[in-house]
Chains A and B, each alone.
Chain A
């Protein structure tokens, strides 16, 4: 089924690296704003529980950020080691966008995170607040630039091609390409949701194990309410993003919905087994006219099928399933966060069942984010720059064995790091919290404020 040539291996390697990398920014982009919120609440209320929450989560932020940095450095090299043709031919576009990410985001994040971590006795609360705000802005700027580049690869515009090379003609058109606003909104919301479920899940775990401290309830509440507001919003954003994709990348949508032939009144396939060879979906559970209704907002609307993109459409089964995993988790997020918010609203703590559900959902954001990225990235195949440059044209001519060897090494290293990360979070999350009075140092920077 799989022909493991050097191109496939290079793709697997890059997919592994970028999937592993995105786990960590998916947390930090959102968590940075949550930390800023904790810091602002502490400054406004002088309630030390907020500061306790801040320092507990800033440690987890630092660990997550470190993993994001080192795996991100890997990415900056792998463009060249795996896709030299992409840099040679599209470097005029991708270079500057990546460059702006380094310039406007990486240094700010790395430098001011040091103040958040180590600045306690060295800077005033105001400087600390500014540092937290700059780190949050930095993470978001980083998302802005990298998503702009990714979106340009999906929906390229603002360039001309001369002798096979891309040249920018209009930078604003390049940056603000058609899919960029939707992707940026969808991804930043995904990151905030990932962070919301992470903090709610870890807090719920502490409550279940009865190791909760003074800040646990506050953090849980923050996570639950944030999720309850954003989860439904994300469905709306996702729908808009999908309609944008339909306009610019109809083959991707046809694969997601497993629409084999162009038709009117197309049903929505809830579940099934898409079979690309027979060009049919087995065991399909369908909602009549559903796809037409979702995509054209008309029950009888026409939907373009895969038959129109024969030989130029992405693999159907991967997109079909990854999309459904993403949506399934999204809907579960709404159910869990609303139940929890309802329980909080009615006063008192959520019951053990809701706490357990939140705890199970701790890393739900990861799964949904990865499923979403697999949908959109595999959905771009066979192109690296949509409709203009294929992946096969730009791959490095390494022997397959060399790529397979390093791929194996990456798998071992990343499995080790992922296990260490989750175990460390578990260890930190289940250590009994100290009471505020025992934490002699909490509140000290205020007394020392100049």
Chain B
């Protein structure tokens, strides 16, 4: 039991972070797309994420929270190493988060400034998260190759968010904006593909540990479902984005679902690559784990509360299902 608890918390942390990437990913993606839209479309786009972004961002807090609770040594090591990108990401998230509210409440002439802050904050957060992911995967060791790798992920991570954002807009909007979302998604797909390809190829190149974990038989064959599922999802997303009539015929959800599946597969692949480390080649899950008494105490709470959290999250998503028109609480004048 004591030895299994860290694994349980690792799973909770992984699920939280993947959920964060998917859920806040579409929020950030819409932020990135904002400058491309007309003023009226901007309002609709933000209305489409208004009821959700706050809870979406909370998954990041839970993910980092579990890192702190369950793996205090890793929390300290990772966040101290990533001091600058973390600070930059926080600046982005702060600007993005407050712009949501300021843009509808401040005087009209300031709205443009807050729209810019919203888009700028989203971009900064997305790039910083890519950078952090790149540094984390490469074991927080800043050699030249590793830095180049981090730059590559930082540059392509926004594309993933754009596809997620476009996928969300397909569900929440109609008419001209729907068509625009299709085009935006299509244009971002190659960059997202590049990101996925680069991560899959370079991770084993950068780390011998990861190469050994993947490219040995029979592991290689057993692991094939992960890249295969990713490829199928990628192709399906691309196929729907190419065909407006298919998207309009009720298959638009495939874009978001397929991209979400890609995120889940990436998460699984990463978890497999890193195991048994929590910081690659430096700190194992068990070395970093908190005392069993602390883990047990939190586990009770997690087991009771998390099912409720998921239930009411679904409840609220159902309340706000459908197209985003009318999801406004700003002045209607």
A residues sitting closer than 8 Å to B (CB atoms) are 55, 58-59, 62-63, 65-67, 69-74, 76-77, 79-81, 84-85, 87-88, 91-96, 98-100, 102-104, 106-108, 110-115, 117-123, 165, 167-169, 171, 396-398, 402, 406, 409, 413, 417, 420, 423-424, 427-428, 441
Contact = CB atoms under 8 A, between A and B. Distances in A.
B143 interface: no
Interface string B151-193: 0000000000000000000000000000000000000000000
Given A80-B76, A95-B72, A102 B61 contact: yes
Nearest to B94: A70
Contacts of A81: 79-80, 82-83, 86-87
Contacts of A123: 319
Interface residues of B, number: 63
Interface string B87-100: 10011011101101
A307 B65 CA distance: 42
B54 A66 contact: yes
Contacts of B291: 92, 165, 167-168
Interface stretch (B197-205, B245-253, B299-307): B299-307
26 contacts: A66-B97, A80-B68, A80-B76, A85-B76, A91-B76, A92-B294, A93-B294, A95-B290, A95-B294, A96-B297, A96-B298, A98-B65, A99-B65, A100-B298, A114-B51, A118-B51, A118-B320, A165-B291, A167-B294, A397-B80, A402-B84, A413-B91, A423-B106, A424-B106, A428-B105, A441-B332
A84 B76 contact: yes
A329 to B, nearest CB: 27
B19 to A, nearest CB: 12
Given A84-B80, A119-B319, A111 B294 contact: no
B86 A77 contact: yes
Interface of B: 50-52, 54-55, 57-58, 60-62, 64-66, 68-70, 72-73, 75-80, 82-84, 86-87, 90-91, 93-95, 97-98, 100-102, 105-107, 290-291, 293-294, 297-298, 301-302, 305-306, 309, 312-313, 316, 319-320, 326-329, 332
A80 B67 CA distance: 10
A58 B62 CA distance: 26
Contacts of A122: 319-320
A409 B72 CA distance: 28
A362 to B, nearest CB: 17
Contacts of B77: 84
Contacts of B294: 91-93, 95-96, 167-168
A6 to B, nearest CB: 12
